[in-house]
Amino acid sequence: MSKTKTTNFTNLLLTTYLLINWSTHQLTKFIFEIMKKLFLIISAILIAISASAQSNSKAKAVLDKTASVIRNAGDIKADFSATSTSGSMSGTVFLHKNMLHLTSPGIKCWYDGKTLWTYRKETNEVNITTPTAAEQQSINPYLFINIYKKGYAYTMRETKLKGKSCYEVTLSATSPTNKLRKMVVNIDKETYHPVSVNMQRAKGSTQIYILNCKTKQKFKDATFRFPSAEYKSAEIIDLR
């Protein structure tokens, strides 16, 4: 018999001998220690799951409150600054329900809920498109209130941004097919208005800071449609 096999056999005999010769008290104590360790491990797992569920619950409650505040805010006018993988810009955004009008020094956008017109001053061109949900989100920082309830998991922490106490809610897509992979929304703890929204897609990201937000505004529907009479010399490029 080899040395390794002899050692293994000896260890087996020794273990068997100890188990047979242990008193009932010793064996009970041994089993109790094993069960105690298992209980501690299971407790730690349950606490972690409970903490995660609590965090998700609190994050959803904050998002629910924010969505309610925005939906009851009437029309909104806000200054913004945005940075993306393709560049940066700043300007003013006008919002009415799911409609949007955006103005900046080089670009203007009109979105009536279906069609998006984008005017570029540099080229004097107007592109007409029907934007996807992800594309709408990239130009309208408030649209997260329509999509967070389905397809996203939440985590939340408290932080400060631009001198304001905020809830920082991270929404992570639960499906790999979701084009909008992740959003980080900073929400003012006092007003429940979004202060910033970071959107991460498969091919780039966009960071938007929202400034000087004014609610209870009133805009006409024409505000969100392209005023063709004002841009007679522009080249119209229909990409629908």
74 plus 40 within the same structural domain: no
Amino acid at 131: P
183 plus 128 within the same structural domain: yes
192 plus 224 within the same structural domain: yes
110 plus 223 within the same structural domain: yes
pLDDT on residue 139:
64
39 plus 97 within the same structural domain: no
Question: How far apart are the C-alpha atoms of 65 and 167, rounded to whole Å?
Answer: 12
Domain of residue 7 covers 3-45
- Is 51 within the bounds of a domain? no
- Is 52 within the bounds of a domain? no
- pLDDT tens per residue across all 240 residues of the chain: 555 544 554 454 444 444 445 444 454 554 445 454 444 433 343 333 343 344 578 888 888 888 888 888 889 899 988 888 878 888 898 988 888 899 999 899 999 989 999 999 999 999 999 887 666 666 666 666 667 778 888 888 999 998 899 999 998 888 888 878 888 989 999 999 889 888 888 778 888 888 888 999 999 999 999 999 999 999 999 988
75 plus 16 within the same structural domain: no
22 plus 75 within the same structural domain: no
pTM above 0.75, yes or no: no
- Is 91 within the bounds of a domain? yes
- Yes or no: say if 36 and 28 are a contact pair by the CB < 8 Å rule: no
Question: How far apart are the C-alpha atoms of 86 and 45, rounded to whole Å?
Answer: 43
Structure tokens at 230: 């004002």
- Is 187 within the bounds of a domain? yes
CATH at 131: 2.50.20.10
Burial class (CB in 10 A: 0-12, 13-18, 19+), 124: exposed
101 plus 196 within the same structural domain: yes
pLDDT on residue 208:
85
| Backbone angle region of 183, left / alpha / beta, with phi > 0 → left and psi within -120 to 50 → alpha | beta
- Is 50 within the bounds of a domain? no
DSSP assignment, residue 162? T
35 plus 131 within the same structural domain: no
185 plus 217 within the same structural domain: yes
114 plus 210 within the same structural domain: yes
Question: What is the domain count for the chain?
Answer: 2
